[in-house]
Amino acid sequence: MSQVALHDLSKMSESERSELLLRAEDDLQPLMAKITPIIDAVRKEGDEALARFGREFDKAADLTADAIAATDADFDAAYAELDDEMIEVLRYAADNIRRFHEVQLPQDEWTMEIRPGAHVGERWSPIDSVAVYSPRGKGSFPSVTLMSVVPAVVAGVPDLIVLTPPGPDGKVDAATLVAADIAGCRRVFKAGGAQAVAAAAYGTQTIPCCMKIEGPGSPWLAAAKVMLANRIDPGMPAGPSEAIVFADETANADIAALDTIIESEHGDDSSVFLVTTSAEVAEAARAKIPEYWADMSDERRGYSSTVLNSKRGGVVLSASEEQAYDFINDYAPEHLQILSDDPHGHARRIRNASEILLGHDTPGSIANYMMGPNCVLPTSAAARTRSPLGVLNFMKSCSVGELTREGYDEMAPKTAVFATYEGFDAHAAAVGEKRAKALRRNS
């Protein structure tokens, strides 16, 4: 049985510590040359290229260009395939996700009188067209479909589509189709990876050109978003899964071990650490994790053991809470779970994390599916500056201003001073004597 790596921060050099902060997609450059012909082919050939890449990359042997879009019959078949319990679980999760995101919805417009006769405000509206991506390579993710489509529907995006890779049978995963329908979108297309981004950026015979794409995926997807950022808003960086479980001396080591495995089973490109200040918790968790692996499928055990016995995973032993906080804030994890009798006390010291789950009874798996907050989160330390996917990712605002004559008369002379200082003649003239003459002529 594989071992779990132990990283002792007190014994590591700065360069060794820095290596622990690296993610699988930190260097996308090697992929750029590989995805260029994929993007070019989709731009030139459209659906024919999507079908060919579906056959080549997704092993969808019978996929043809006229079957890129999911049909009403596909949705009917998906509902028939799923059992009633799974459909009810999808509806339950969608309801929680919708409730959470409805609270995020800003008011359509607000205004204030900032000075007498000077009214300013902000107006919100949905983005005209958005593609959301639901990955499939190492499993199917109807949870991501719910988390992406629900806030877009709440935001009111008028032209919304779902892109997801086909399976070997050439079909969309049944639960993904049902999730999309429950969330409020029946426009689902079979396209994965870099070719999906290209399809959304350029449009094909079937897939409409979109203004933005959101959703997590592989480094191939991330590289395509970077390459096509001049054609389509690439949205939030959301790559391979990553997590930190922070456990102090009050934590149950068995629970710490169990929760550390959660994100590590996504794929061998995941990054997962159990950070603890307790040598006892560290050693007990390292011993327990292999026991849990024994009950996992070969595929998931393989992913988890690869991650947790590497420089992108394992147990990080910290000499103090301050050292642990510093490591977590530098890492800026996608998921952070705090196992402690005082999780709120620890959380107050965390500045950089996309999601913080508090206490012994809040495992990441429930957050990923059921609680309501979005599980599509910024990765690769983007939590230092980015927020989780939400309603505002599917909206944009514009500023609104209106002056009465009273407001103009107060602000114009001050504006003229400012414009003159910066050397902008037309700016100054627009609020000076020339405007006053024009106004007098029309009065």
CATH code of the domain containing 102:
3.40.50.1980
Is residue 201 located within the same domain as residue 226? yes
Is residue 133 located within the same domain as residue 259? no
Is 87 inside any structural domain? yes
Kindly report the length of the chain.
443
**What total of structural domains would you count in the chain?**
3
Is 74 inside any structural domain? yes
Is residue 219 located within the same domain as residue 298? no
Integer Cα distance of 384 and 162 in angstroms:
28
- What's residue 20's pLDDT? 96
Is 394 inside any structural domain? no
Is residue 345 located within the same domain as residue 437? no
> Please, are residues 161 and 215 in contact by the beta-carbon 8 Å criterion?
no
Among residues 371, 387, 415, the one where a domain terminates is: 371
Say what the alpha-carbon torsion angle 17, 18, 22, 26 is, to the nearest 10 degrees: 180
Is residue 134 located within the same domain as residue 249? no
Is residue 220 located within the same domain as residue 260? no
> Please, are residues 314 and 260 in contact by the beta-carbon 8 Å criterion?
no
Range of the domain at 264: 6-24+240-371
pTM for the model stands at 0.93
Is residue 260 located within the same domain as residue 285? yes
Is 194 inside any structural domain? yes
Is residue 226 located within the same domain as residue 244? no
Is 388 inside any structural domain? no
Is 384 inside any structural domain? no
Integer Cα distance of 433 and 179 in angstroms:
63
- What's residue 138's pLDDT? 66
> Please, are residues 142 and 176 in contact by the beta-carbon 8 Å criterion?
yes
Is 378 inside any structural domain? no
Closest CA to 321 of 259, 271, 247: 247
Give the active site residues. 334-335
Core vs surface per residue 245-276: b (16+ CB within 10 A) or e: bbbbeebebbbbbbbbbbbbbbbbbbbbbbbb
| Degrees to nearest 5, angle at CA 185 with 183 and 188 | 125
**Helical H runs in 164-236?**
174-183, 193-202, 219-227
Integer Cα distance of 252 and 260 in angstroms:
12
Closest CA to 241 of 346, 173, 313: 313
Residue with tokens 């309501």: 372
Is residue 136 located within the same domain as residue 173? yes
Is 289 inside any structural domain? yes
Among residues 210, 238, 266, the one where a domain terminates is: 238
Is residue 18 located within the same domain as residue 48? no
SS3 label, residue 79 = helix
> Please, are residues 352 and 383 in contact by the beta-carbon 8 Å criterion?
yes
Integer Cα distance of 338 and 336 in angstroms:
7
Is residue 106 located within the same domain as residue 222? yes
Integer Cα distance of 60 and 90 in angstroms:
26
Is residue 278 located within the same domain as residue 415? no
Give average pLDDT by consecutive 10-residue segment, the chain, 443 residues. Answer: 89 96 82 94 98 96 96 98 98 98 97 97 98 86 96 98 96 97 98 97 98 93 94 92 97 98 94 98 98 96 96 97 98 98 98 98 96 95 96 98 96 97 97 89 71
